[in-house]
């Protein structure tokens, strides 16, 4: 990580985001930090986690969402229901959970709430 120090002032979100975007390494970005956190969670919840290169309907998520970036689905089943996210395919090997042919759920489904992850603790 960078040796730069950052603080968060919730009253000045724009300034905080600008500072985060100035970080020098891609590994310092918030999105990378979230990928690492999701990988750690999925890798410790292997029995209830899965990854797929295709959606429920068999479509490639990169084409479906027109992101221009290769993506895959990551799903984690919690006691309160599934949480599904799209992850950049660059990070596929970071996730040691089972691979399924098609996503078990779609990331756009109602109630795809990250707060459900707290029920795993």
Alpha-carbon distance of 85 to 74, in angstroms, equals 5
Name the H helices within 2-116.
13-21, 30-44, 61-65
Alpha-carbon distance of 41 to 65, in angstroms, equals 25
What is the domain partition of the chain in residue ranges?
Answer: 10-120
Q: What is the bridge-based pairing of β-strands 71-78 and 81-88?
A: antiparallel
Reading the chain (121 residues) residue by residue, the pLDDT tens digits are: 444 433 444 444 455 555 555 555 565 577 888 899 999 999 999 999 999 999 999 999 888 777 678 889 999 999 998 999 889 899 999 999 999 999 998 776 666 688 899 999 8
The tokens for 21 are 């975007």
Alpha-carbon distance of 112 to 84, in angstroms, equals 7
- Asked whether the whole model's pTM tops 0.75, one would answer no
């Amino acid at each position: 990580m960078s040796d730069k120090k950052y603080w968060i002032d919730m009253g000045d979100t724009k300034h905080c985001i600008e500072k985060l975007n100035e970080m020098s390494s891609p590994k310092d970005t918030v999105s990378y930090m979230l990928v690492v956190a999701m990988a750690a969670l999925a890798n410790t919840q292997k029995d209830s986690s899965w990854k797929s290169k295709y959606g429920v309907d068999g479509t490639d998520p990169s084409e479906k969402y027109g992101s221009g970036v290769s993506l895959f689905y990551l799903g984690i089943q919690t006691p309160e229901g599934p949480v599904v996210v799209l992850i950049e395919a660059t990070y596929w090997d970071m996730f040691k959970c089972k691979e399924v042919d098609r996503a078990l759920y779609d990331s756009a489904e109602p109630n795809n709430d990250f707060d459900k992850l707290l029920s795993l603790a």
